[in-house]
Structure 1
Amino acid sequence: MKKWRFYNYLLAFILLSMLLSLTLTVVAVSTVPVTGRGKQLFLLLEIILGVVILLLPQWIARLGHFELPEILYVLFLLFIYGSVYLGTVYQFYGRVPYWDKILHVGSAMLLGCLGYALIGVFFRGKQLTQLSPLFMSIFAFTFGLSVGVFWEFYEFTFDGLLGLDMQRFMVHGVLLQGRAALMDTMGDLIADALGTFAVAALGYIGIRRDVHWLDKFMFRKIPLKK
Structure 2
Amino acid sequence: MQLTLVGLLFVGLDRGDTGIMVNASVGLLVSYLPAVLEREYDLPMDAGLTLWITSAVFLHAIGTVGLPGATGNFYNNVWWWDHMTHALSSSVVAATGYTVTRAIDRHSEAVYLPDRFMFVFILLFVLAFGVFWEVIEFAIAETAHALGTASVLTQYGLEDTLLDLVFDTIGGIIVAIWGTAHLTDLTGAITDRLDGRRSR
- TM norm structure 1: 0.64
Equivalent position to 2:52, from 71, 75, 96 = 75
- SS of equivalent to 2:118: helix
Provide structure 1 residue ranges, at least 5 long, that are not aligned to the other structure.
1-13, 30-36, 170-181, 207-211
> Structure 2 vs 1, CA of residues 46 and 195 (structure 1 numbering), >3 Å: closer, same or farther?
closer
TM-superposed deviation, 1:71:
4.8
Matched AA of 1:53: V
Residue 142 in structure 1 maps to residue 124 in structure 2: yes
Equivalent position to 1:166, from 130, 154, 169 = 154
TM-superposed deviation, 1:189:
1.0
TM-superposed deviation, 1:20:
4.7
> Structure 2 vs 1, CA of residues 43 and 152 (structure 1 numbering), >3 Å: closer, same or farther?
closer
Q: Does the 8 A contact of 1:22 with 1:47 survive in 2?
A: yes
> Structure 2 vs 1, CA of residues 79 and 216 (structure 1 numbering), >3 Å: closer, same or farther?
same
Provide structure 2 residue ranges, at least 5 long, that are not aligned to the other structure.
67-72, 146-150, 194-200
Q: How many residues align?
A: 180
Distance in structure 2 (CA, Å) of the matches to 1:42 and 1:113: 27
Choose 1 or 2 for highest CA Rg: 1
TM-superposed deviation, 1:72:
4.0
> Structure 2 vs 1, CA of residues 60 and 158 (structure 1 numbering), >3 Å: closer, same or farther?
same
Residue 58 in structure 1 maps to residue 35 in structure 2: yes
Q: Alpha carbon RMSD of aligned pairs, Å?
A: 3.5
Per-residue CA deviations over 1:40-72 (Å, capped at 9, x if unaligned) read: x76456434432221134224423343336554
- SS of equivalent to 1:168: coil
Distance in structure 2 (CA, Å) of the matches to 1:127 and 1:57: 29
Matched AA of 2:80: Y
Distance in structure 1 (CA, Å) of the matches to 2:22 and 2:141: 21
- TM norm structure 2: 0.71
Equivalent position to 2:16, from 25, 38, 62 = 38
> Structure 2 vs 1, CA of residues 219 and 82 (structure 1 numbering), >3 Å: closer, same or farther?
farther
Matched AA of 1:38: G
- SS of equivalent to 2:161: helix
